[in-house]
Amino acid sequence: MSAQNQQPVTPDTPVTPSAASFEPAESRGDARPVSFFRRFLSQPEAKFGLVLTGLVLLVAIAGPFVVPAWTGYGPTSYAGKPFQYDIFGTDNLGRDVLSRFLEGGWRLLLYSALATLLGVGLGTVLGMLAAFRGGWLDSVIMRTGDVLLAIPQLVFAMLAITVLGPQGWVLVVVIGVTHAPRVARVIRSATSGVVAEDYVLASQMYAVPQWKILGRDVVPNIMGPLMVEMGLRMTYSIGAVASLSFLGLGMQPPTADWGLMINENRIALSLQPWGVILPVVAIAVLTVGTNLIADAVSGASAGRVTGSARKDK
Amino acid sequence: MPTTTTVPKATVATAISVRDLNVGVHGGESILKDVTFDLTPGRILALVGESGSGKTTAALACMNHLRSGLELRGGSVQLHKGASRFFDQNMDLLTLSEKQVRRLRGGTIAYVPQDPALSLNGALRVGEQIHEVLRIHEFGRNSKQREARVAEVLEEVGLPSTKKYQRRYPHQLSGGQQQRIGIAMAFACRPAVIILDEPTTGLDVATQDLVLKTVYELTTKHDVAGLYITHDLAVVAQVANDVAVMLRGEIVERGPAKQVLYRPEHEYTQTLLAAVPDLKGARDMGGGPAVSPRAAMRAPWDHGHDDAARPGEARTDRDRAASSVAQTSDNEPLLAVRDLRLAYGPAVILDGINLDLLEGQTTMLLGESGSGKTTLSRSIAGLNGAYTGEVRLAGQVLANGTRKRSNEDRRRIQYIFQSPFSSLNPRRSIGDSLEVPLEMSGGMSRKQRRAAVADALDAVRLGRSYINRRPGELSGGERQRAAVARALVNAPSVLVCDEITSALDVSVQASVIELLRELQRDRGLAMLFVTHNIALARHVSHKLAVLEKGHLVDYGPTDHVLRNPRHDYTKSLLEHVPTL
Amino acid sequence: MILKRLGISVFVLLAVSVLVFIFTLLLPGDPAQAILGQQATPERLAALREQLNLNDPWYERYFTWLGGLLVGDLGTSAATGGSVNELLGQKVSASVLLMIIAAVISIPVGVLLGTWSAMRRGRTTDHTLTGFSLVLAALPEFVIGIALTTLLSTTVFQLLPSVTMAAPGTRVWDYPLQLVLPALTLVLVVVPYMIRMTRTTMLDVLDSGYVEMARLKGVPERQVIMKHALPHAIGPVAQVVAMQLAWLAGGIVVVEFLFRYPGLGQAMVDAVRIRDVQVVQALSMIIAAFYVVVNLIADVIGILANPKLRTESNT
């Protein structure tokens, strides 16, 4: 959070060349742009987001390995009577809450990550194709996207689960597919901005193969919005997977899962809140973390440098 | 003259005096350094400078307006007694309260913005936008008087004053009309001071001429003190009484227009003036005398090169240019366009174009935006394959579209884009971008390609050290040189330059033109130089082709066309173009 | 212009109906069997199939279903054998009530706070609001709902009922206190987005040349905002609001389930559990129709607020 030890962007000493050197072709070598990563890290949101996300990641990934050693109970073994109240206590069936909490994060993360990759991947390819090829392909892709957008993500997922059942791959596919049109819109507009640039036309002029143009000229120049979408879609994926589990339509008992835990334990919220609070806090911290990262990325790709640059007027 | 006039005529010697104005970026470098100038009723001061010189910042500071991110670091803007009807004493604008400043803005000090398309409110009718300014400053006694004033000021700027016209929205007007609405808005309250920020950017020469005349008339007639911001010295010569030249936030030279323009003292002013193209071709520009000169007339400041004492080198240059015309004119042209036509549905963009490019010669393709000049140059380069007719290279008909042309054909015709800010991929190094043409024509190892790129960078006088830099680290002029280098790596025989100097400052433009002329001399390139700036004609071209609405309306040796323009369009261009 | 938007909306709805219908075809098993159970006689099965038009080819069934939708007949539930209309009847009004309350509160709050934040750009209020909305916007609906429940009705304070309990024969609005938590949750879900998007839109407008020009004309700041800036923001802000209302339609599922609110969302979760496809289908169509209508309204507002688009539509 300490922005003081960050390098100031604008040098304190004005870059005033000597009065005689008004040569037009004067080099601006000193104006080397601050690298994207540095701009990203220079923002307080980025540091916050990385710390929060890192914490939850650590719990979710390391959790399953330390469960028996730490608590003495596996995620599905019984630790005593229901709703005992010592260190985090037990759940409605008498299972140890801490063990289930430690065990219950990685599936959520895995499914969300897969759904995000699928959604952003699909959306990027379609969005780039739509902008790059244009014409009827553009119309077909974007109109199909409009149709998908008309059904809210959660409702669409529920429709699919009704028919196909609450299985992991269904969650991943359906959430990924519903992300795709939203990602495609963003990527399409970013790509059409790049395609309108003369350097793409120059590559066309030199008869560079289309795939090379995409790889060299287009993709590197849409990395900003692409990474923002990654962060944003990850936030929404986590929300969607957790929500579905919470509704009892995602992970099924007796799996240890944060969303499902909240569903199972919320009847006893006033009696034994830990079974709800632990997973809720974890999900909250995680989504806030990823959202902060997405915001910092978007700030960095828009050229924002440090938080301290936004001085009061 | 209506009785509502509020500016007492010529009671003040000076309307506004700016003293030691210092402005900088928040916590960063300074933008203005000790800027000092006076604005006098009935006279126009031109504040001249290239991009980034701080001229707009200085102008806006006169209205106590700083764009976000800037801070005032000292100085004063004195509004003199009698200049405003609201205050009867001298006062420093920079110390006034927001409310007091607001009363002055638009009423006493008016502003005409650079781009009316952005500055007029698209959601309000144009009549209302003029009316608003009158209402706010309580001009006239009632709404009726204000309405009469709206109609009056519309006529003053040469627009229809009907109610129907006033009910239009900005998007229903042309660019020139929009700008005149902006000027009407500024003059509506009969201000004491008017600030014009490059108000003719983006207008064609005829419209520019009209706008300039309007501005000049209104300021002198109504005894208004004018501040005219521009980068164009030819425009300065048309409107300004006094000139102040800015360089990186400082005024380096000031004085009456005649003196500054014709007897410049500061080195920078001399450089700037030397870079201004001259329709008569009497001066040297772009590294040598005009290619197609008219007469032996020279400008008084163009010392060292008058006819008597001209170095032999320059003479041979001119002789050579003349002789090469004679030499190649009866040969088969290197590149020939025959009966080229291009239409999108019913919209005919180009029709019946016949054009020849000769080795070692430049043909200028002149036209305003929308004339089809870019389409024509792209058809020749193969970027636009939708044409009918023929483009022949050394007698051979080329395929429509670069991808259908052979490697060899692609190599021999190179095209340079208008904007150097768009034509180089910001994520790739200059070396990588410049290597592409070689990579695609094949036959060279990576090492050989790098060597060729380094040579090309040397040839455009950037130097091989630029090979690993990214476009973001280069200035506009440097980028355009890199783009020229990309066109050179393949040793082409035809170079198509599409408005390649229009995004650059005049001094940079001059150096790029110098480069092109040098390359043409060394390599015998045939060039098509596309531009909207007729003033460049004699400096660069052997032949001149004027394009209007898809037709070549005038075509021939430059000197001939300029002296005997056949078409009305060419005549109007020659009549309206501002000259020093 | 407006007619064109209307046409697009109709097309989107038709396409959605095809998509939703295709899902039923993917369902394994026989709906008639599902309704009647394992012990059903072949004769009764055949009779029900006839009644449900299951013997017709899929496209005929699609048109029968679509025809039903157009006249307001949502079909027959495969799980209960009853009419979907009957099942959903009261629940529609309960959900609509909840959404209207949430919308009426969140639209003015979101738009005003967003505008305010933009006008105070860079100051503490702006930073606080931006940071606050950035955090809130990240949270899934149920996290906000549970946080509110913990805070206001169980662990910390016990002020409000945490679940909706209605005696048979009564309506949700007979117990206004029970509406507070669900409505508040929905408001907190959509307001942060509205603040953020409205702020961005307003900043674009405030940075524009015409706003600078208005200031240089000496227009008082209030008028700059009201007369010069706001008209340009109406269209984009309407889009933002529409997007958030559509989001509400999805969010209501989780919120109703969380608070056991007897509305469409709750019905949807129940129907998915017992794989009652007809009900899910009907609900998806209702929600999609809501989305399309809200977007259409936003588009029309955008067109009417923009003289350029408006004058083009006249010619």
d(CA A299, CA A46): 10
d(CA C144, CA C190): 11
* Whether B423 and A199 lie within 8 Å, measured CB to CB: yes
Helices (H) and strands (E) in chain B, counts: 21, 20
**Per-residue pLDDT for B472 more than 50?**
yes
Residue A218 tokens, joined: 């287009």
d(CA C280, CA C262): 16
pLDDT of residue A25: 36
Q: What is the mean pLDDT of residues B62-74?
A: 85
* Whether B29 and A15 lie within 8 Å, measured CB to CB: yes
pLDDT of residue A6: 36
Output phi, psi for B422, to 5 deg.
-115, -20
d(CA A6, CA A157): 44
Distances A226 to A184, A218, A220, B199, B315 between C-alpha atoms, Å: 10, 12, 10, 39, 59
What rounded mean pLDDT belongs to chain B?
83
| Cβ atoms of residues B288 and B517 within 8 Å | yes
Q: What is the mean pLDDT of residues C202-214?
A: 89
| Partner C, chain B 22-81, Cβ-Cβ below 8 Å | 60, 63, 65, 68
By CB atoms closer than 10 A (0-12, 13-18, 19+), residue C234 is: middle
d(CA A269, CA A251): 21
A155 interfaces chain C, CB cutoff of 8 Å: yes
Banded model confidence at residue C34, pLDDT cuts 50, 70, 90: low
| Cβ atoms of residues C290 and C181 within 8 Å | no
pLDDT of residue A13: 32
pLDDT of residue A82: 67
**Per-residue pLDDT for B575 more than 50?**
yes
| Partner B, chain A 3-22, Cβ-Cβ below 8 Å | 8, 10-12, 14-16, 20, 22
Helix (H), strand (E), coil (C) string for chain A: CCCCCCCCCCCCCCCCCCCCCCCCCCCCHHHCCCCHHHHHHCCHHHHHHHHHHHHHHHHHHHHHHHHHHHHCCCCCCECCCCCCCCCCCECCCCEEHHHHHHHCCHHHHHHHHHHHHHHHHHHHHHHHHHHHHCHHHHHHHHHHHHHHHCCCHHHHHHHHHHHHCCCHHHHHHHHHHHHHHHHHHHHHHHHHHHHCCHHHHHHHHCCCCHHHHHHHHHHHHHHHHHHHHHHHHHHHHHHHHHHHHHCCCCCCCCCCCHHHHHHHHHHHCCCCCHHHHHHHHHHHHHHHHHHHHHHHHHHHHCCCCCHHHCCCC
Per-residue pLDDT tens over the stretch C179-194: 888 899 999 999 999 9
Which residues 6+ apart lie within 8 Å of B464 measured at CB? B454, B455, B457, B458
Which chains lie within 8 Å of chain B at 3 or more CB pairs, if any? A, C
**Per-residue pLDDT for A14 more than 70?**
no
Q: What is the mean pLDDT of residues B81-110?
A: 79
pLDDT of residue B85: 63
Per-residue pLDDT tens over the stretch C237-292: 898 888 888 888 888 889 998 888 888 888 888 888 887 888 888 888 888 988 89
Percent with pLDDT over 90 in chain B: 16
* Whether C284 and A242 lie within 8 Å, measured CB to CB: no
pLDDT of residue C168: 63
Looking up tokens 């201000």 gives B191
Residues listed for chain B: 580
d(CA A91, CA A264): 8
| Cβ atoms of residues B392 and B354 within 8 Å | no
**Per-residue pLDDT for A310 more than 60?**
no
ipTM of the complex: 0.84
Looking up tokens 């630790």 gives A79
Banded model confidence at residue A61, pLDDT cuts 50, 70, 90: confident
Banded model confidence at residue C28, pLDDT cuts 50, 70, 90: low
d(CA B204, CA B534): 11
Per-residue pLDDT tens over the stretch B251-289: 999 999 888 888 888 888 888 888 888 787 777 777 777
B132 interfaces chain C, CB cutoff of 8 Å: yes
pLDDT of residue C169: 65
Per-residue pLDDT tens over the stretch B337-358: 999 999 888 888 888 899 999 8
d(CA C220, CA C214): 9
Per-residue pLDDT tens over the stretch B384-434: 888 899 899 888 888 888 888 888 888 899 999 988 888 999 888 999 999
Give the helix/strand (H/E) hosting B327. Answer: helix B312-328
pLDDT of residue A83: 65
Which residues from chain B sit within 8 angstroms of residue C216, using beta carbons?
60, 63, 65, 105-106, 111, 113
**Per-residue pLDDT for C315 more than 80?**
no
Which residues from chain C sit within 8 angstroms of residue A247, using beta carbons?
253-254, 257, 269, 272
What is residue B36's three-state secondary structure? strand
Distances C242 to A206, B327, C194, C299 between C-alpha atoms, Å: 46, 72, 10, 9
d(CA B194, CA C214): 16
Residue A118 tokens, joined: 């699928």
pLDDT of residue A243: 92
pLDDT of residue B376: 92
**Per-residue pLDDT for C45 more than 80?**
no
Output phi, psi for A168, to 5 deg.
-55, -50
Percent with pLDDT over 90 in chain A: 31
Banded model confidence at residue B312, pLDDT cuts 50, 70, 90: very low
Residue B567 tokens, joined: 């078409």
d(CA B260, CA A19): 19
pLDDT of residue C32: 67
pTM of the model: 0.82
Which of the residue ranges A175-179, A195-199, B6-10 would you say has the lowest mean pLDDT? B6-10
Which chains lie within 8 Å of chain C at 3 or more CB pairs, if any? A, B
pLDDT of residue C312: 66
Which residues from chain A sit within 8 angstroms of residue B434, using beta carbons?
none
**Per-residue pLDDT for A120 more than 50?**
yes
Per-residue pLDDT tens over the stretch A139-181: 999 889 988 888 888 888 988 888 888 888 999 999 999 999 9
Which of the residue ranges B474-488, C31-45, C249-263 would you say has the lowest mean pLDDT? C31-45
Give the helix/strand (H/E) hosting B571. Answer: helix B568-576
pLDDT of residue B346: 85
d(CA B516, CA B288): 12
d(CA B142, CA B263): 51
What is residue B405's three-state secondary structure? coil
d(CA B381, CA B378): 5
What is residue B95's three-state secondary structure? helix
| Cβ atoms of residues A221 and A69 within 8 Å | no
**Per-residue pLDDT for A183 more than 60?**
yes
Which residues 6+ apart lie within 8 Å of C204 measured at CB? none
pLDDT of residue B227: 92
A28 interfaces chain C, CB cutoff of 8 Å: no
Distance from CA of A48 to the nearest CA of C (A): 11
- Candidates C208, C216, C228, C313: best to mutate against B (most CBs of B within 10 A) is C216
Q: What is the mean pLDDT of residues A186-210?
A: 91
Listing from the earlier edge strand, what are the strands of the sheet with B225-230? Answer: B109-112, B193-197, B225-230, B44-48, B242-247, B250-256
Closest residue in B to A206 (Cα) is: B437
pLDDT of residue A3: 35
| Cβ atoms of residues B206 and B237 within 8 Å | no
Banded model confidence at residue A121, pLDDT cuts 50, 70, 90: very high
How many beta carbons lie within 10 A of that of residue A253, not counting itself?
Answer: 12
Which residues from chain C sit within 8 angstroms of residue B68, using beta carbons?
207
pLDDT of residue B27: 78
pLDDT of residue A288: 92
| Cβ atoms of residues B421 and B390 within 8 Å | no
Residue B371 tokens, joined: 């004339």
Per-residue pLDDT tens over the stretch A277-287: 889 999 999 99
* Whether A159 and C122 lie within 8 Å, measured CB to CB: no
Which residues 6+ apart lie within 8 Å of A194 measured at CB? A200, A217, A218, A221, A222
Per-residue pLDDT tens over the stretch B289-301: 777 776 444 344 4
Q: What is the mean pLDDT of residues C113-141?
A: 88
Cis peptide before A254 (omega within 30 of 0): yes
A197 interfaces chain B, CB cutoff of 8 Å: yes
Residue of B464, B470, B463, B471 whose CA lies nearest to B450: B464
Q: What is the mean pLDDT of residues B1-5?
A: 41
